[in-house]
Amino acid sequence: MTQPTNSLLTHLECATCGRKHPISKLNTVCETEDCKAILLAQYDFNSNVLLKADLKARPASAWRYKEFLPVHDERNIVSLGEGFTAVLTVSNLQQHTAGKRVLIKDESSNPTGSFKARGLSIAVSKAKELGVKEFVIPTAGNAGGALAAYAAKAGLKAHIFMPKLTPQAFKDEARLFGAELTEVDGNISDCGKLANAQAAENGWFDISTLKEPYRLEGKKTMGYEIAEQLGWTVPDVILYPTGGGTGIIGIWKAFDELEQLGWIGSKRPHMVAVQSDSCNGIHLAFQNGETSSAFKDSGHTVANGLRVPKPYADKVILKVLRDSQGNTVSVSDAAILSALRELAACEGLLAAPEGAALWHAYKELNRSGGIKDGETVLLLNTGSAYKYLDNIR
């Protein structure tokens, strides 16, 4: 007998052409031949009976928003306690924060040490509900570890393709969780080509970034949490480390959903995408007024998660940045490592290089007038530096 989660999921809708797709089958991207854009989960918010006050009695995890997540049978939920991470105040670096309220949402406390736990928890849960037994993923590190963990918890099989230059801790993690790991001499795009071919040959489900619709739903819970933790308001500015860009799209989607619920108003933050100089196609496209990004990869960066030469949803990311009247910043590896050490020594936070890049980006924007006095600025630290020690050394 099905045990409902009260999910209000109704259908999937293409982000580009608007075509509706049923939720009763396993979906990847839009089936329209000349489209193939990402699919967005849609909910019947008019049927919602949940009140904001009801959340106080719920577990402090991403699944506290289960009505607005895609799993219909609660027995399919695969959870390791992900979500509801702390929002910290930057308090010891007042030479950079004077006149502003600067916050860091610290995703390093998630299972497997990164925000990837959110997306993989929801995606694996929904795929399990739809009968998936084996997964494949190309990864820069954290997503592979998260998939391996959630597949292990669900009793399912994970196949992971990871660049050889990835720090050893990520490889050890994946193998310890029982995944089959293939090391690839190349970047995440090269991993993606091999993963895609193996998926087609073996019937594995490709759970790559935005190649299926439900990892995005996990990432959007960061937006729900930000609003709830800030008293149902949103920051003036959100800085986000942008590789695949799922979080930018997800947080923006969350705020739209919360407004439909009447839980927040129409105010939106300026979204800022932060990239590595080594792999900054979104930054270049935004600054040049383009609607899609070119393939850009100049080699290794200490922020492995930022080495995504061309995000699958580049057009959607750029649209969010422009709709939010946002911005982009590109950061060198030297600046990333300097920012990482400053946050560690002054704030006691050992941020992942991707998250540390935001601190440098914030300081650049602050110096140039891109951050105004009185504004609340939130930085998304996406993970822990402990797994990156090979790079940091």
Return the structure tokens found at 99: 């006149």
Strands 205-206 vs 134-138: parallel, antiparallel or unpaired: parallel
Sheet holding 237-241, edge to edge: 87-89, 101-106, 376-381, 237-241, 270-276, 327-331
> How far, in Å, CA of 173 to CA of 85, rounded?
22
- Diameter of the chain measured on Cα atoms: 60
- Contacts with 54 (C-beta within 8 Å, 6 or more apart), sequence order: none
Residue 201 token pair: 């040959």
Per-residue pLDDT of the chain (393 residues; tens, 9 = 90+): 457 778 999 999 999 999 999 999 999 999 998 999 999 999 999 999 999 999 999 999 999 999 999 999 999 999 999 999 999 999 999 999 999 999 999 999 999 999 999 999 999 999 999 999 999 999 989 999 999 999 999 999 999 999 999 999 999 999 999 999 999 999 999 999 999 999 999 999 999 989 999 999 999 999 999 999 999 999 999 999 999 999 999 999 999 999 999 999 999 999 999 999 999 999 999 999 999 999 999 988 999 999 999 999 999 999 999 999 999 999 999 999 999 999 999 999 999 999 999 999 999 999 999 999 999 999 999 999 999 999 888
Instruction: Give yes or no for a contact between 385 and 352, defined as CB atoms under 8 angstroms apart.
Output: yes
* Paired tokens of 366: 């602050």
3-state secondary structure of 270: strand
CA atoms of 29 and 358, how far apart (whole Å): 30
